[in-house]
């Protein structure tokens, strides 16, 4: 199986973030980052080792846009505390 990528986000403040993948997935992630830096957005399809696929979206954003987003923590008490904030949406380059 190719394009394996596991994304372990922060549960709460100060937790580490891990992006762990095979070479193909990490190269596609790099390409998506490069595309986001050039055109504002990039994406690719990745897979988890259980075979489930997902779209990985990479966006270039300024501070104003970032401040409008919900916090990215996995702990729902932290994440959902900002009712006036929104979740990110996929966008095209």
- pLDDT tens per residue, range 54-73: 999 999 999 999 988 888 88
Structure tokens at 17: 């973030």
* Mean pLDDT on 70-89: 73
Residue with tokens 């929104």: 86
43 pLDDT higher than 80:
yes
More confident residue, 22 or 80: 22
More confident residue, 19 or 72: 19
Distances (CA, A) of 41 to 17, 33, 54: 21, 8, 16
Is the model's pLDDT at 92 over the cut of 80?
A: no
Antiparallel, parallel or unpaired: β 41-47 and 18-21: unpaired
Beta-carbon contacts of 53 under 8 Å, excluding residues fewer than 6 positions away, are 45, 46, 47
Q: What does the pLDDT average to over 15-39?
A: 97
> Could you give the count of Cα atoms lying within 13 Å of 26 in the half-sphere of its Cβ?
6
**pLDDT value, residue 87:** 73
């Amino acid at each position: 199986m190719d394009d394996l990528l596991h994304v372990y986000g922060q549960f709460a403040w100060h937790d580490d973030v891990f992006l762990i993948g095979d070479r193909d997935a990490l190269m596609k992630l790099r390409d998506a980052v490069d595309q986001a830096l050039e055109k504002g957005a990039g994406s690719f399809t990745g897979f988890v080792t259980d075979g489930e696929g997902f779209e990985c979206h990479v966006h270039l954003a300024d501070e104003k846009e970032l401040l409008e987003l919900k916090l990215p923590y996995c702990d729902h008490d932290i994440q959902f505390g900002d009712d006036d904030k929104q979740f990110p949406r996929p966008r095209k380059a």
